[in-house]
Chain A
Amino acid sequence: MQTKKSIILKKITVIRFLYLFVFIAILPVLTQAQDILGGQVRGNFQVDVQTYEPNSQIGITKEDINGEKVGMNGFGNFIYTNKNFTAGLRFESYLKPLVGFDPAYEGTGIPYWFASYKKDKFEITVGNFYDQFGNGLIFRAYEEWTLGYDNSVNGIRVKFNPFKGVALKGIYGVQRYYWVKYKDSDRGIVKGADAEFFLNDIFKAWKNNKTKIILGGGFMSKYQKDDPFFKYKLPENVTAFSGRFNISRGRVNFLGEYAYKINDPSAINNIIYKEGQALFISGSYSKKGLGITLGAKWIDNMSFKSDRFETGNALDLSFLPPLTKTHSYSLEAMYPYGTQPNGEMAVNAQVVYTIPKKSKIGGRYGTTLEFNFTRVNAIDKKALNDTTPIGAEGTKGYTSAFLKFGDLKYFEDWNIEITKKISKKWKMILAYTYLNYNFDVIEEEIESDHNIYKVHVGVADVTYKFDSKNALRLELQYMETRQDSGNWAAALIEYTIAPKWFFSVRDEFNFNNPQSNNTYHYYSAAFGYTSGPNRIQLSYGLQREGILCVGGICRKVPAASGLTLTIFSSF
């Protein structure tokens, strides 16, 4: 017998789908750029709908679903431009948020709106805005839909270009925190300024110099009132500074940024009063057929949020750029690295080389080799004295040696990828990846080497083109590890009718699992339709638990079983 609650839920589900179909029906009307009052309106939409059903094989019970059989995340961006004036808003709806997204997003409304005016040397924006200073070490406000991440600033931004080659900007506001409106200093008020100097534009004598130099610097400050009930004294004003350079000459580019932050006791750093520092350097060389990039990053106590007690993926001021490769094949991407703001030392090398066409090894169409290496370790932290443990609450925390590797390995990634077009019809990608993934550090915040997963992944991706439109792609992956959930194999077959249709089936298969005698299959099937700026994708099947990372920020995606529908459109 159905309960009253389940009948109501079913009705709600039906109503949600009706809304969706109405939306799909009016999509073509909505998605034509409109001229309004002499200006242009453009924008984009996305709706992600997922249904959830129990699946005993992968351990999803009725209780896990808890009556919430459908989730929906959706947004619509509208930007109006009329000469020097721009205004826009984004509508968002999470009813309820898809599994894995923060439930604090539940709701519907307009969290983002702005108006901006640009005249001569000035540009003024009021409302919400995204921006960054340099590489983002002391400030980056951005939005990442797939992660459910948005730290836009709501306030005022002024950009000023007094002379050619000089760009100044200042910001003042508060950051977005889900749907919670700012009140009573519940998060910090942020203000900052940044200057960038293009020396070749400023000095006439350098105008035609082959060496191009850009210098920049700025500060970011947050004010959050003290809490007299908190057992430690808290700084109300915390400021971070940064300086940066970018030098390029011909094929060589070299850039770097250093940031310094004064005492900022927070929930992330366990209320320590140490200053924070970060250094990011990167050099690259490129010519036809060859690209080399070397990078290094040293982070020491550099979490910088506009609320000192925020621990989640929200209210970040600093962005600590990841050096690790973002893998595109699913098993290679199973163990992604998440930036450790309390301290990490990372180095990265990447070489892309194309063996020329019609050479002996390169073959008729050439062969591209890509090699990538990343290593991330702890930084070298020393206790303040014999009695205070490293990072003890209410102390200076520890001392650290500048740019020095600590002993503990956090992450290592060796990756080689060969892309070869064999003939007009055949194309092949082969890849091998070897990872060391310190589970304790990355997922548990435990400074230990007890659980370092050693993972080998091999990938073969073969495409056969029947003609200029029809292609069949076979993707085979194999992963071996003795830790965590053991070995995996994956196969995907995808048929594409360019440029509109694709159909695919996939299976990810887990075996030799040290935690279970069972083997697990995660089947799914998908198809997608693209028509100009509109895209609809539908998939059905099982999704394994995983971690999704973008830009070093990660979210856990729980296992799920059901239907996923994505509609995207821009105009």
Chain B
Amino acid sequence: MNKIIKILLFFALIIVLLQACDKIEEPYEREINGGGGNRKVLLEDYTGHTCVNCPGAAGTAHELKDEYKDQLVIIAVHAGYFAQPTNEPYTADFRTEVGEELNDFFGIVSNPAGMINRIGEGQERILVETEWQSAVGQEVARPADAGITISNTYNEQTRVLNTSLDIKFINALPGTYRACAYIIEDSIVAPQKNNDPALGPSPDWLDFVHDNMLRGSLNDTWGDLVTDEDITAGSVYTVQCDGFTLNAEWKDRHCAIVAFVYNEDTFEIIQAEEEKVK
């Protein structure tokens, strides 16, 4: 019996030494001291109309937009399995060539999934919804390395859009940079699966409002090379994207151009910007 007590005491000692519990008391919410930076951050929300958790993620993106305003730019990429057209009422096809290519390239298999400035390597880039807020908070707190000015010239009759991106590098940067100009559309009312009755009708949310939906690119999935010179502080470059015709079904007043500059080798986005088409 004596030895049993010894063993139990020894075991109890291990438990005391090794384990630790952090019991969190209410309130669970806390103040976040972010900010200070002026980097404009891109959140890519990979989504699909049959993805039941995606309305929650879209809600998180909206909350972040409310918090960080112009410092956050959002693209909702409808791609992959959950974006495929299927049975009623999910017959719409919101997929784009650009979106599918991004989805395949970055290896996104589950939705919702997000990338914040495409930071990290491989699968590290892909963040679940609960990770977005922290990743955005960290990025907006950084100083910007570049600024982008988008100038849109849009002809309402022909629906042809000419866009120029003026990119000013604030700091000298190693590496090669490319610039993309994507077009997004807000306020598209279409059915969306939803598993959270606290957010809206479940399981089918027939009049869901899809915002920031990626519609295409003005200069392909991977954009144009900004320059092949070394990037020096204060250098300015222009990327011109002319002759893009808006699809007749898109509401031009709900369309905007999202531009971003990224490192060609790491894919890390150093600055993003958004400007309405008209």
Contacts and interface: CB of A to CB of B under 8 A. Distances in A.
Contact of B28 (A66, A162, A233): A233
A226 to B, nearest CB: 9
Nearest to A168: B11
The residue in A221, A229, A447 that gathers the most chain B C-beta atoms within 10 A of its C-beta is: A229
Contact of A102 (B29, B33, B109): B109
A230 B18 contact: no
Interface in B117-158: 122-124, 127-131, 133-135, 137-138
Interface stretch (B168-176, B191-199, B221-229, B268-276): B191-199
A440 B203 contact: yes
B3 interface: yes
Contact of B23 (A66, A223, A235): A235
A440 B3 CA distance: 54
A445 B134 contact: no
Contact of B4 (A202, A219, A236): A202
The 3 A-B residue pairs whose C-beta atoms are closest, nearest first, are A229-B137, A235-B22, A229-B134
The residue in A170, A232, A262 that gathers the most chain B C-beta atoms within 10 A of its C-beta is: A232
A98 interface: no
B13 to A, nearest CB: 10
Contacts of A162: 3, 7
Given A180-B124, A193-B11, A202-B4, A232 B195 contact: no
A515 interface: yes
Given A221-B18, A228-B32, A389 B23 contact: no
B30 A239 contact: no
Contact of B203 (A235, A262, A273, A444): A444
A553 interface: no
Given A233-B29, A271-B130, 16 more contacts: A102-B109, A103-B109, A163-B7, A166-B7, A168-B7, A219-B15, A238-B22, A266-B130, A273-B24, A312-B110, A440-B195, A440-B203, A445-B53, A446-B203, A450-B203, A451-B203
Contacts of A394: 28-29
B127 to A, nearest CB: 8
Contacts of B248: none
B110 A170 contact: no
A311 B30 contact: no
* Chain A interface SS verdict (over half): loop
B104 A66 contact: yes
A392 B131 contact: no
Interface string B9-34: 00100110011111110101110111
B258 interface: no
B37 interface: no
Given A229-B32, A394-B29, A221 B19 contact: yes
8 contacts: A104-B123, A227-B134, A233-B24, A235-B23, A271-B130, A448-B203, A450-B203, A515-B87
Nearest to B134: A229
Contact of B18 (A166, A191, A263, A389): A191
The residue in B18, B122, B130 that gathers the most chain A C-beta atoms within 10 A of its C-beta is: B130
B130 A163 contact: no
Contact of A445 (B87, B130, B195): B195
A394 to B, nearest CB: 5
B202 interface: yes
A117 interface: no
Interface string A244-264: 000000000000000000110
A448 B7 contact: no
A66 B107 CA distance: 13
B21 A239 contact: yes
B214 to A, nearest CB: 18
Contacts of B3: 162-163
A448 B23 contact: no
Interface residues of B, number: 48
A193 B10 CA distance: 12
B15 A267 contact: no
Nearest to A221: B19
Contacts of B28: 232-233, 265, 273, 394-395
Contacts of A448: 202-203
Nearest to B138: A229
B74 interface: no
Contacts of B29: 231-233, 394
A195 interface: yes
Interface of B: 3-4, 7, 11, 14-15, 18-24, 26, 28-30, 32-34, 52-53, 87, 100, 104, 107, 109-110, 122-124, 127-131, 133-135, 137-138, 193-195, 197-198, 202-203
A392 B32 CA distance: 21
A466 interface: no
Nearest to B20: A237
A180 B24 CA distance: 30
Nearest to B204: A450
A444 B109 contact: no
A180 B107 CA distance: 15
Interface in A161-191: 162-163, 166, 168, 170, 178, 180, 186, 191
A239 B107 contact: no
Contact of A229 (B100, B110, B122, B133): B133
Nearest to A202: B4
A262 B138 contact: no
Interface in A295-311: 308-311
A178 to B, nearest CB: 7
A219 B122 contact: no
Contacts of A444: 52, 193, 195, 203
Given A227-B134, A233-B28, A273-B28, A311 B11 contact: no
Contacts of B32: 228-231
B24 A235 contact: yes
A233 B30 contact: yes
A134 to B, nearest CB: 15
Interface string A176-218: 0010100000100001110101000010000000000000000
B195 A446 contact: yes
Contacts of A230: 32, 133-134
B251 to A, nearest CB: 28
Contacts of B197: 389
Contacts of B20: 221, 223, 237, 239
A102 B113 CA distance: 14
A444 B203 CA distance: 9
A372 B194 CA distance: 34
A219 B18 CA distance: 9
Given A230-B134, A446-B52, A104 B18 contact: no
Contacts of A63: 100
A395 B28 CA distance: 7
Given A202-B4, A237-B22, A311-B128, A180 B202 contact: no
Nearest to B63: A231
A301 B202 CA distance: 22
Given A267-B130, A271-B130, A395-B28, A219 B202 contact: no
A170 B32 CA distance: 38
B34 A229 contact: yes
B188 to A, nearest CB: 23
